[in-house]
Amino acid sequence: MISLLLIGAAALGGGFAHPTPTPPADLPAAVYRERRERVMKSLDGCIGIIASQGEVSGITEDYRQDADFYWLTGINEPGAYLVFAPKAPFNKVTLYLKPRDPEAERWTGPREAISPDLVERYGVDKVRRGSPEGGLESAGLGHGCVAIIAPPDMAKEDRGDAELAERVAGRFGLHLVYKRSLLAELREVHSADEIARMERAIAITRLGHEAVAKGTVAGVSERDVQTQMEYAFFAGGATGLSYSSIVGAGPDGAVLHWDKNTRLLKDGDLVVVDAAAEYGRYAADVTRTYPVSGHFSPEQAKVYRAVYQAQEDILAAIHPGVSMSDLQHVAEESLRRAGHLADFIHGFGHFVGLDVHDAGLYEKSLPVGAIFTVEPGVYLPQQGFGVRIEDEVLVTSTGYRLLTADFPRKLEDVEAWVAKARR
């Protein structure tokens, strides 16, 4: 019996080739060091302090670092601080980690002792444990100002780093300056390393949507579609999900963030699938609308073409100097002409990076290297369906590059894709 089980397991294993990560998911320490150097240069000689702001979830207390701290360090630990001291003779960048707890580590796994190897791995000048307050005494005597670089989207009482900066400024009589948009400006422009990982996430996401094109047939549930898609993500090398998968069939597709995924698919339904893989912490974000019968009805087709045209109008308006706010106006005007402005209930798109809704400045001109989604949608609960098409673009010096070009978008191409996948 055991031998038969082993043979069966071997047969199953033999049919699965684990993907080789290309590029590797983790970025080298030199990338984080270069990012911190750019931050240091922008501090204009001021001390800078930023704390980790990640979140814990689940019974195993899984921790996910906030994107700002992760972008600066690549570290996924709570209770950490990063201190910039541009005028210090040696230790210009110091990383503070929370103290070790041997009892807790029996539950969560061992943490490394501080060593030269750890300093080298993180690419900082010094690694310490505990609060940075003591180390800021010498820094406070050697600098004339302290910069608050924490972004403004969290209340002051939630940011220990902002409060600490204010306390250091008061203690040493330092000038307090605000650079709250600094990290958003820097993170908005993606490097080649980041773009490669986001393209990898998109390619993996394509595998999952191929499974959706095949599997959105009458009689299966939204959850069935979700599980087949997510299996394809992880089989393709995903290191996570960019967000909770949205699979909305029929009237569920008219709910923007449908998450119950319980409905059985029926002939005549459209299925809005907003789901994507993550690779090396970098997110993708793609939505397609699939016809269960294989074809859009005349009413559905009219709405789909209106959404597609809005996407085309937005893409045509992307050029150096345009802002996200400008493109929102283009989206609204396109859907106004189609008679569906009232059915367009969200923004046309958002920045994508370490977070699926990433940092970026919506009122300023888009810089070369920015990546964002283009996702108009029309939602008609009375008619029992919704349509959303979502793609990702990279801003270039002449316009844009469609990163999701391998996903069919036109109505006829989607129908052909579904037909081919189901044969």
Question: DSSP assignment of 313-328, as one string?
Answer: HHHHT--TT-BHHHHH
Give 25 or 41, the one with higher predicted confidence: 41
Quick check: 3 pLDDT over 70? no
The reported pLDDT for the residue numbered 156 is 56
pLDDT, one tens digit per residue, over 203-213 is: 999 999 999 99
Distance CA 51, CA 117 (A): 23
293 Cβ neighbours under 8 A, 6+ residues apart: 218, 267, 268
Quick check: 19 pLDDT over 80? no
Both 218 and 365 in one domain: the answer is yes
Both 184 and 196 in one domain: the answer is no
Predicted confidence band at 59 (pLDDT cuts at 50, 70, 90)? confident
Write down the residue that tokens 């930023």 correspond to. 50
The reported pLDDT for the residue numbered 99 is 93
Both 335 and 404 in one domain: the answer is yes
Looking at 43-101, list the stretches that DSSP marks H as alpha helix, in order from N- to C-terminal side.
67-73
CATH code of the domain in which 337 resides? 3.90.230.10
Quick check: 12 pLDDT over 70? no
The reported pLDDT for the residue numbered 134 is 87
Cross-strand partners of 394: 371, 401
Give 166 or 159, the one with higher predicted confidence: 166
Both 176 and 196 in one domain: the answer is no
Q: Distance from first CA to last CA of the chain, Å, rounded?
A: 38
The reported pLDDT for the residue numbered 138 is 84
- Within a domain: residue 237? yes
- Within a domain: residue 15? no
Q: How many domains in the chain?
A: 2
Report the side by side order of strands in the sheet with 400-402. Answer: 371-374, 391-395, 400-402
Predicted confidence band at 157 (pLDDT cuts at 50, 70, 90)? low
Q: β-pairing, 126-129 with 371-374? A: unpaired
Predicted confidence band at 1 (pLDDT cuts at 50, 70, 90)? very low
Which value, to the nearest 10 degrees, does the dihedral of the CA atoms of residues 8, 9, 11, 17 take?
160
CATH code of the domain in which 88 resides? 3.40.350.10
- Within a domain: residue 288? yes
pLDDT, one tens digit per residue, over 280-300 is: 999 999 999 999 999 999 999
The reported pLDDT for the residue numbered 160 is 85
pLDDT, one tens digit per residue, over 173-199 is: 999 999 999 999 999 999 999 999 999
User: What would you report as the CA-atom Rg of the chain, rounded to the nearest whole angstrom?
Assistant: 24
Both 264 and 181 in one domain: the answer is no
The reported pLDDT for the residue numbered 155 is 58
**C-alpha distance from residue 368 to each of 166, 234, 236, 291 (Å):** 35, 31, 30, 36
Predicted confidence band at 214 (pLDDT cuts at 50, 70, 90)? very high
Predicted confidence band at 15 (pLDDT cuts at 50, 70, 90)? low
Both 150 and 222 in one domain: the answer is no
Both 219 and 270 in one domain: the answer is yes
pLDDT, one tens digit per residue, over 314-333 is: 999 999 899 999 999 999 99
The reported pLDDT for the residue numbered 109 is 85
Both 204 and 174 in one domain: the answer is no
Structural domain of 229: 192-422
Both 140 and 206 in one domain: the answer is no
- Packing angle between helix 192-215 and helix 411-422, nearest 10 degrees? 70
- Work out the mean pLDDT of the chain and round it to a whole number: 93
DSSP letters of 242-303? SS--EEEEGGGGGSTT-----PBP-TT-EEEEE--EEETTEE---EEEEETTSS--HHHHHH
The reported pLDDT for the residue numbered 37 is 98
Task: Out of 155, 171, 188, pick the residue that ends a domain.
Answer: 188
With b meaning 16 or more CB within 10 Å and e meaning fewer, what string describes 158-194?
A: ebbbbbbbeebbeebebeebebeebbbebbbbbeeeb
Does 23 sit behind a cis peptide bond, omega within 30 degrees of 0 on the bond before it? Answer: yes
- Within a domain: residue 5? no
The reported pLDDT for the residue numbered 119 is 95
Task: Out of 162, 188, 214, pick the residue that ends a domain.
Answer: 188
Quick check: 11 pLDDT over 60? no
The reported pLDDT for the residue numbered 24 is 82
pLDDT, one tens digit per residue, over 103-151 is: 888 888 888 889 999 999 999 999 999 999 988 988 888 999 999 998 8
Question: Is residue 162 left, alpha or beta, with left meaning phi > 0 and alpha meaning psi from -120 to 50?
Answer: alpha
What mean pLDDT comes out for the span 262-276? 98
State the CB neighbour count (10 A cutoff) for residue 75: 18
Distance CA 322, CA 10 (A): 56
Q: Which pair of structure tokens corresponds to residue 377?
A: 């949608």
341 Cβ neighbours under 8 A, 6+ residues apart: 332, 335
Both 228 and 350 in one domain: the answer is yes
The reported pLDDT for the residue numbered 196 is 96
Write down the residue that tokens 């360090």 correspond to. 73
How does DSSP classify residue 367?
A: P
The reported pLDDT for the residue numbered 17 is 67
Q: Which pair of structure tokens corresponds to residue 208?
A: 């999952």
- Within a domain: residue 24? no
pLDDT, one tens digit per residue, over 366-382 is: 999 999 999 999 999 99
Quick one: what percent of the chain has pLDDT higher than 70?
94
Quick check: 13 pLDDT over 60? no
Distance CA 295, CA 252 (A): 19
Quick check: 22 pLDDT over 60? yes
pTM of the model: 0.93
